[in-house]
């Protein structure tokens, strides 16, 4: 008993100390539990991440990979309002239509040929703004609008993304509509997309078994 | 010559006067050209809109209607960060999956029975948060996430929406993906949604012929 | 002793665990102690409130009732920047002059006839903007300005309010000036409002005994 | 005709030139028509104001004077989010209860003895926070709450105010309620403040004839 | 053992209770550990600071003194977006070139004659905006630009500064470049400023031994 | 006369048309005169920039080059809160100590070896946070703090920078202090940096003749 007690007390003290630093602001719900450190304990490593030169694994149905460097990988980004990503595409690969709910984005192509685009909101006539990008080209995607990037060249493509939030979030349309946990009622989607039940069920099966589109962060 | 001159001058004066009021801030691209009035010319009507007691027309494929009261209908809302909407649903009607890119939303059911929900971002596991709402019920939808509202009762349904922006925008997923102007490349959508070409073309035909989901504002 | 110890430790662990979720940002002082949940523990109920179809009790001196649905009633509203209210008015009832310190407001009349208005700041000449509203009418009130709503019809009136903050606050002028706890010095108010001491003392007695104008939230 | 033509053209050119500079953002309605200058034309004088060492005229009913140095007096303050004021008080003078709708405030007493205070919002029980201030004392007033400053010493008092907005606005409660243009309906105020008609009419006469509480800016 | 145990538990409970109030938002990294109080425990003293009438000690190499009244001295300033400072200058004294990373500033001269200025960003041609200020003069300094204040009169000078943040921060250029802890690599500075190694080492010795330019806060 | 008249009228019409598009918000002074387009005239090119694959010219005293892609190069970035840069370094080259007044930054090394760092504000003890970066490494620099990047490898280095503003600005410390237009008073700098007059004059000569550190934008 005494051993357990000591263990518990030690653990509690650690927990309590962990909270002698302020917890951090993040301006959106479902927020990441990043704790601010005591300024005296902050080091250069809190502003550092390594490994974005490694290509992501594009061996999946979409032939693409997304590696995000946001506040979960660089704690010092908390409140700084900026993050980076690396995008890899196999030939024919794509990052399918998706939305960043909390930031606009710039993309810079390093290698390959990308067809990119976004669609303006319904108030502005659902206009498609699209462009074929080559190395050195930059394109901007406004916050909250549907965007996509597709490798239309014959080689791999690599691009860097920059966003104006340390926690931009990503809403991949396919996974969100057809692979949420639990699933959205099939009949609702049948009517929304003017499809028959079997087609919706088929798409739901496809997306239910797929992983998240962003490379998971293992802490 | 003199007639033309007079005409030109008159026109110029009008144009110049049109700009003797300050142009207004709107924090997003594709902004609405709402001009701020000279404070001396502002009247109560600049803060007023009439007619939200009139049901919208739900005689369309989706059986629903959205009437927005935002800065385009109440110029005085400029910079105030709030707007209202009225939603009407025929039995079985729905406001299909959509995103507001620039505001979170609250819905209040006045009549009928609605199934509503939103899906969290991929970073939070694409979780569906859903609820059946009855008159007097309120539900919150975070900014930039896919949401939907469907009438699952046997009568008409009416709801009021409130958003924290005078210009929240709306991105209806179906219309945006399959009915943009011009269309997104069919092959890209085939791969994104794991569908065959004919099915995508069929959905594109459905959405290309449909109107915007929000009641147009005629000024 | 050992029992107490165990009790204390259990309690401490609970307290510690309660803080293993981040505490939440609220952009203003006197903030509400709403704790953010661990995303895994969030449910649909965190975005839900029920009961706004029930009329408030207008059996008071002012003949009105305000029921707020803000972050205290819907925890998921935290950081979302929007809230709703229901206003009830007996014939002749009013929501007396007040200010929302942290949000602009839109009002939508559902039933009855309301005289509403706000006064611009002194820099803009203390101009009254006023309107009589009928069902379906909407009116906007800018943040931080004195506003009022009065039922001038012969029946009950009902209205919905929307604000661009999850915690807008309310400063009822009468209660604030003449019924604060403790009271503002009577002589200061005598001079400020050019009244005699007895009149100020009378008004102070009226407001000191009155309840808050918003329906209290019992958790 | 030619004379008129020349006049018109000259006027048009002036108007057009007036708009060859960008118009400025101001985050609130009733905004000030401050034009941003072409950066090449900006000089040190755009960031400069002179004369805050001159005492204001306290020869009025309230025995006080307010001189604001905001974006209207220093155009370069536009978007900078800060402004200053000088307050003068005769013995017994006061700046009566008022609200700044768009900024919190700090006051620094330079001379004399001030009783200051503010009342928290109704959600926090309308609590009075009050203090007697002497030279060198600083006190903070949160945005949108009713505040007051009264000279309770036997000599003149002088204070400096700082606010976190270039255009904070001021809502003097007395003038706003009882001296707006046009007046708020007397019966509404009778009920709101539990006063008789004659008393309200008397207060309305007092405030209708009084000037603004801030020293007017003559351009 | 039991005594220690009791002590530890008591301490833990205190720590835990300390966190039964919400921790506070501060929008920048290296944030100050200011805890928000339970609203019921807030008093007028949380909005109050005393002593800004006392001249600072200018007996240092630069002949100046800065006393900041920000959120560390007035906890109630948290989130209010405003702070004050007192600047003292001996004859010939200066507040050397520095930057406020998180707020624009206004300065008001109370006594003496100050030469002040700031330099626009490189995008705008590194233009110097400068002015000689006398008592009653006000000057504005935009956020993030290098500014300086020098007493060019024959007497002491006193000024008040106002900033639009409760935690503006200060980056004194000399101390930052030549006296950081640890030092920036000498060779890097040699190249950056086109100086020889000995001169850089000399400047590094000067700044390494100097105190911070702001009067330390002892709690 | 008639010729002049026609010329004037043509010019006026052009000017007037130039303002038939709304002018744009930019949240800081010295703002860029970017005009917003009529939504109907916006094209994909408004979101596009080409050429960031071209190395910048590092043939200068500092051996470095900065190419910014901000709102001046991509008009559609207006209000989107993000921008990109390309940095080139010859062996031994550096981007000397500088500050971004309006955004935090992330850097990603593509080629070479960089020593980077920033110094915390004086309130946090002027602490140097520094790191040697290799390809694929990312480092974060908080807004308004002095930062530097130096190529310490034997080959050229290339890096990409991302910032959370469409108009971050840059304040190169050397040029700002010693090469502003006009120059800061030599005696003030002598005292600020504990240098003799001749050394300051020498540094002023060096910086006065140098170009801006960012590659100029020619429109």
- The pLDDT-based confidence of C124 (bands split at 50, 70, 90) is confident
Q: Give the model confidence (pLDDT) of F50-106 as tens digits.
A: 999 999 999 999 999 999 999 889 988 877 899 999 999 999 999 999 999 989 999
Q: Give the model confidence (pLDDT) of A110-142 as tens digits.
A: 999 999 999 998 878 899 999 999 999 999 999
Helices (H) and strands (E) in chain E, counts: 4, 11
Asked if B touches E (at least 3 Cβ pairs < 8 angstroms), the answer reads: no
Beta strands across the sheet bearing E64-69 = D48-49, E138-141, E105-111, E157-163, E83-89, E64-69
Residue in F7, F11, F15, F16 to test binding to B, most B beta-carbons within 10 Å: F16
Q: Give the model confidence (pLDDT) of C145-181 as tens digits.
A: 999 999 999 999 999 999 999 888 899 999 999 999 9
Q: Which residues of B touch D165 (CB under 8 A)?
A: none
Cβ contact E100:F99 at 8 Å: no
Helix (H, G, I), strand (E, B) or coil at B6: helix
Asked if D115 reaches chain E (Cβ–Cβ under 8 Å), the answer is no
pLDDT at A8 (0 to 100): 36
- The pLDDT-based confidence of A30 (bands split at 50, 70, 90) is very low
Q: Which residue in chain C has the smallest CA separation from D167?
A: C123
- In angstroms, the Cα distances linking F190 to B110, D114, E89, F194, F201 are 73, 44, 17, 6, 9
Residue A186, classified by CB atoms within 10 Å of its CB into exposed (0-12), middle (13-18) or buried (19+), is middle
Residue B7 exposure: Cα atoms within 13 Å on the Cβ side: 4
Q: What is the mean pLDDT of chain A?
A: 83
For residue C33, how many other CB atoms are within 10 A of its CB? 14
- The pLDDT-based confidence of B42 (bands split at 50, 70, 90) is confident
Q: If contacts are CB pairs under 8 Å, which of residues 27-66 in chain A contact chain B?
A: 28-30, 61-62
> What distance, in Å, lies between the first and last C-alpha atoms of chain F?
34
pLDDT at E38 (0 to 100): 64
Tell me the longest C-alpha to C-alpha distance in chain F.
Answer: 71
What the block records as the tokens of F188 is 């003030």
Residue in D40, D80, D88, D113 to test binding to E, most E beta-carbons within 10 Å: D80
Percent of residues in chain D assigned helix, strand, coil, to nearest 5: 25, 30, 45
Q: If contacts are CB pairs under 8 Å, which of residues 171-190 in chain B contact chain A?
A: 171-185, 188-189
pLDDT at D188 (0 to 100): 96
Q: DSSP alpha helices (H): ranges in F19-172?
A: none
pLDDT at E13 (0 to 100): 35
Cβ contact C65:C214 at 8 Å: no
Query: How does DSSP assign chain C, residue by residue?
Result: -HHHHHHHHHHHHHHHHHTSS-B---SSSS---PBPPPGGG--GGGGEE--TTSPP---STT-EEEEEESTTT-GGGTTT--EEEEEEE-TT-EEEEEE-TT--EEEEEEES-EEEEEE--GGGTTBEEEEEE-TT-EEEE-TTS-EEEEE-SSS-EEEEEEESSSS---EEHHHHHHS-BSPPPHHHHHHHHT--HHHHHHHHHHHHTSPPSBPPP--
Q: Which residues of A touch F47 (CB under 8 A)?
A: 129, 131, 139-141
Cβ contact D103:D85 at 8 Å: no
F149 annotated to bind ligand: no
Q: Which residue has the tokens 């007695």?
A: C205
pLDDT at F32 (0 to 100): 34
Please state the separation of Cα F57 from the chain's center in Å: 15
What the block records as the tokens of E4 is 């220690």
Residue F126, classified by CB atoms within 10 Å of its CB into exposed (0-12), middle (13-18) or buried (19+), is buried
Q: Which residue has the tokens 């004195």?
A: C146
> In this complex, which of D5, D28, D33 lies closest to B79 when CB atoms are compared?
D28
pLDDT at C78 (0 to 100): 79
CB contact under 8 A, A108 and F84: yes
Q: Give the model confidence (pLDDT) of B132-143 as tens digits.
A: 999 999 999 999
Q: Pick out chain D residues at pLDDT < 50.
A: 1-35, 218-219
pLDDT at A4 (0 to 100): 42
CB contact under 8 A, E80 and D43: no
Cβ contact B95:B213 at 8 Å: yes
- In angstroms, the Cα distances linking B110 to B157, B218, C65, D206 are 7, 27, 19, 46
Q: What angle do CA A28, A29, A32 make, to 5 degrees?
A: 85
Beta strands in chain F (DSSP E): 48-49, 64-69, 83-89, 94-99, 105-111, 114-119, 128-133, 138-141, 147-151, 157-163, 171-172
Asked if E124 reaches chain A (Cβ–Cβ under 8 Å), the answer is no
pLDDT at A27 (0 to 100): 33
Helix (H, G, I), strand (E, B) or coil at D10: helix
pLDDT at D37 (0 to 100): 61
- Provide the pairing of β-strand F64-69 with E114-119: unpaired
Q: Buried (b) or exposed (e) across A21-33, using 16+ Cβ within 10 A?
A: bbbbbbbbbbbbe
Q: DSSP alpha helices (H): ranges in A67-185?
A: 173-178
- The pLDDT-based confidence of E26 (bands split at 50, 70, 90) is very low
For residue E199, how many other CB atoms are within 10 A of its CB? 18
Q: Give the model confidence (pLDDT) of E62-106 as tens digits.
A: 999 999 999 889 988 877 899 999 999 999 999 999 999 989 999
Beta strands across the sheet bearing F138-141 = A48-49, F138-141, F105-111, F157-163, F83-89, F64-69
Please list, in sequence order, all residues whose beta carbon lies within 8 angstroms of the beta carbon of residue C204, skipping any fewer than 6 positions away.
C178, C179, C183, C186, C189
Residue C146 and residue B115: Cα distance in Å, rounded? 38
> In this complex, which of F82, F106, F131 lies closest to A104 when CB atoms are compared?
F82
C149 annotated to bind ligand: no
Cβ contact D109:C200 at 8 Å: no
What the block records as the tokens of D148 is 């007051």
Residue E23 and residue E37: Cα distance in Å, rounded? 8
pLDDT at A25 (0 to 100): 31
Asked if B115 reaches chain A (Cβ–Cβ under 8 Å), the answer is yes
Among B210-214, F91-95, F166-170, the range scoring the smallest mean pLDDT is B210-214
What the block records as the tokens of F217 is 């934008």
CA nearest C18: which of A23, B73, D187? A23
Task: ipTM value, please give it.
Answer: 0.85
CB contact under 8 A, C99 and D144: yes
What the block records as the tokens of A214 is 């962003």
Residue E144 exposure: Cα atoms within 13 Å on the Cβ side: 25
Asked if D touches E (at least 3 Cβ pairs < 8 angstroms), the answer reads: yes
Cβ contact E58:E88 at 8 Å: yes
Residue B147's beta-bridge partner residues? B98, B118
Please say whether the structural domain F45-208 has been given the CATH code 2.60.120.10: yes
pLDDT at B33 over 70: no
Residue B47: phi, psi to the nearest 5?
A: -115, 15
Cβ contact B139:A96 at 8 Å: no
Asked if C touches F (at least 3 Cβ pairs < 8 angstroms), the answer reads: no
What's the length of chain D? Answer: 219
- In angstroms, the Cα distances linking C83 to B190, C37, C207, D16, F2 are 40, 20, 27, 43, 63
pLDDT at F9 (0 to 100): 38
pLDDT at C214 (0 to 100): 63
Residue D185 and residue D203: Cα distance in Å, rounded? 13
pLDDT at A71 (0 to 100): 85
pLDDT at A189 over 80: yes
Write down the domain spans for chain F. 45-208
pLDDT at D54 (0 to 100): 96
pLDDT at B144 over 70: yes
Q: Which residues of E touch F194 (CB under 8 A)?
A: 61, 174, 202-203, 206-207
Query: Which helix H or strand E contains F198, and what residues bound it?
Result: helix F197-208
């Amino acid at each position: 008993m005494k051993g357990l007690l000591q263990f518990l007390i030690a653990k509690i003290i650690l927990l309590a100390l962990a909270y002698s630093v302020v917890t951090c602001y993040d301006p959106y719900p479902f927020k990441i539990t990043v704790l601010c450190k005591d300024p005296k304990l902050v080091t250069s490593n809190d502003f550092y991440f390594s490994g974005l030169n490694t290509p992501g694994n594009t061996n999946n149905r979409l032939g693409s990979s997304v590696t995000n460097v946001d506040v979960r990988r660089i704690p010092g980004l908390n409140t700084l309002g900026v993050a980076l990503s690396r995008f890899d595409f196999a030939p024919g690969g794509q990052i399918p239509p998706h939305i960043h709910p909390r930031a606009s984005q710039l993309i810079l192509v390093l290698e390959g040929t990308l067809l990119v685009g976004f669609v303006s909101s319904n108030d502005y006539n659902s206009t498609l703004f699209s462009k074929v990008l080559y190395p050195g080209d930059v394109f901007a995607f406004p916050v909250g609008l549907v965007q996509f990037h597709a490798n239309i060249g014959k080689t791999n493509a690599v691009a860097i993304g920059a966003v104006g939030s340390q926690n931009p979030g990503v809403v991949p349309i396919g996974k969100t509509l057809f692979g949420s946990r639990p699933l959205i009622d099939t009949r609702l989607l049948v009517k929304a997309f003017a499809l028959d039940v079997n087609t919706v069920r088929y798409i739901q099966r496809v997306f239910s078994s797929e992983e998240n589109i962003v490379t998971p962060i293992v802490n």
